[in-house]
Amino acid sequence: MLYTLIHTIHIYSVFIYGGFLFVDILFLSKMQEGLSEEEHKKAREAIMVHVRKVIPYALMVAVASGLYLFSQVFGEISDDGFSYFQIILSIKASLGLWLGFRGINQKFFGIQPWVFKAHIFPFSLVVIIILLSQIMYL
């Protein structure tokens, strides 16, 4: 029961975080085409004020719940080494931890990334993580 609850929380938090990245890349970035530079800046900041209150915490919940889920399903390492499932799960966890580390640095320490400043890279990682989650049970 606890696993199912945390798994559900994990899925919702990933949808919130990934959904924002999707909307930002496909829609919010296109606002500047119909607005002046100053109008675009004001409109984007009006949205981002609310985004900053939710999205970083959704990411942290996704990472924390993901760590719990990882600990529950990883299993024992056999004498032959990692299984296919464990390898894919480890890659997913590494990408998720990187996103979480990046998000915590931005939210709590004000450290902005030196590279990959746009949301396209985190969105790409979210898509990769989702794809890996679909193939890891093969």
pLDDT tens track for 79-90: 999 999 999 999
pLDDT confidence tier of residue 29, bands split at 50, 70 and 90 = confident
119 in Cβ contact with 21 (< 8 Å) = yes
- pLDDT at residue 130, rounded to an integer: 94
The answer on pLDDT for 116 being more than 70 is: no
pTM recorded for the entire structure: 0.87
Q: In total, how many domains does the chain have?
A: 1
Which residues touch 9 (CB under 8 Å, ≥6 apart)?
A: 61, 65
Q: What domain range is 33 assigned to?
A: 2-135
As a whole number of angstroms, the distance between CA 116 and CA 110 comes to 16
CB 119 within 8 A of CB 24: yes
pLDDT of residue 60 exceeding 80: yes
74 three-state secondary structure: coil
13-22, 100-109, 112-121: least confidently modelled range:
112-121
Distance CA 128, CA 134 (A): 10
